[in-house]
Structure 1
């Protein structure tokens, strides 16, 4: 099987915001995001050289308030979306390699949202049989993550507190519509 060369001098950057998940096999693309208590999963299938990244705000909706509408901010939704995006581009679940980032508890006076998000993401990967290759989770500092989906290369850097995103979003993106295949 022929693979395109992976050398790219200046890839196109695509910012992955809260509530989003993208996948690509383009050597010219790089996904980037900044995380506080949120978590991003980077998935990669080395055989078909396709990768993807998501960015979720909270792990799961409160059990006391189940909603009929899908909320794109929850990991329970975005993890499935990311896996489905990967599969639609030729990836196979048994070959997926994962990296997890974020999950900081940036505000000491708030509930440990970052820790809850991190545990959810680890649990999801375990339940789905996806190998976790690396994680950089927890602490109190925000992170910037850059991911090249066609090569699986990831760079994670801590962000100075003064440059970190606010703990709570000022506005939430609109709720998603459409079909999601849960497996």
Structure 2
């Protein structure tokens, strides 16, 4: 485990790690900066200020449908939240000292199911159930976000992506009648 240093570091010393959908990353290295881009997905950034350990996850959906059964799917928050907490405990964190930041949960498509809202509500209720303090959040809305997190220090920067710069959603034409054929590509 790397100990924290009081020596200031230059931005060129940073080790940038991208956290993709279904990913969990944990670090004690003060040079590590975790980053992700979110739409309806949610990223939880947890840290233990005493142990100097923190981590980030990135989940696509809150919980699997009841019809899916008991399988594990890394795209669901229910799994990734537990993974993040357990990984941090393995690095010396204590759950009673954990602090949280939540980001994402946008509803990017009008007229569609509010997946972002469901993800944000799940993340908040999970933290409440687990008695983890929510220090800061930027959830909901209609814009994408870029999140950068320094896990060892618990520092977060969240920027909203300008709607004009976000890719436009394009409707996909589907055949009116299905003949039962499957096209593989």
Alignment TM-score, normalising by the size of structure 1: 0.85
In structure 2, distance between residues paired with 1:102 and 1:41: 9
In structure 1, distance between residues paired with 2:126 and 2:167: 26
In structure 1, distance between residues paired with 2:147 and 2:7: 19
Q: CA deviation at 1:66?
A: 2.4
**1:70 equivalenced with 2:72 (yes/no):** yes
In structure 2, distance between residues paired with 1:127 and 1:74: 17
- Structure 2 residues not aligned, in runs of 5+: 170-185
Q: 1:55 corresponds to which residue?
A: 58
In structure 2, distance between residues paired with 1:135 and 1:115: 13
In structure 2, distance between residues paired with 1:61 and 1:31: 26
Q: Which residue, 18, 25, 29 being the options, matches 1:15?
A: 18
Contact 2:4 2:29 in 1 (8 A): no
SS of residue in 1 equivalent to 2:35: strand
**1:160 equivalenced with 2:166 (yes/no):** no
Q: CA deviation at 1:113?
A: 0.3
Return structure 1 stretches of 4+ with deviation > 4 angstroms: none
Q: 1:149 corresponds to which residue?
A: 151
Correspondence list, 1:11-50, <5 A: 11-50=14-53
Residues matched between the structures, number: 165
In structure 2, distance between residues paired with 1:166 and 1:20: 25
- Structure 1 residues not aligned, in runs of 5+: 168-183
**1:5 equivalenced with 2:6 (yes/no):** yes
Q: CA deviation at 1:160?
A: 1.8
In structure 2, distance between residues paired with 1:153 and 1:104: 22
Contact 2:37 2:146 in 1 (8 A): yes
Structure (1 or 2) with the larger CA radius of gyration: 2
Deviations 1:81-133 (A, max 9, x none): 00011101000000000000000001112100000000000000000010000
SS of residue in 2 equivalent to 1:108: coil
SS of residue in 2 equivalent to 1:83: helix
In structure 1, distance between residues paired with 2:7 and 2:120: 30
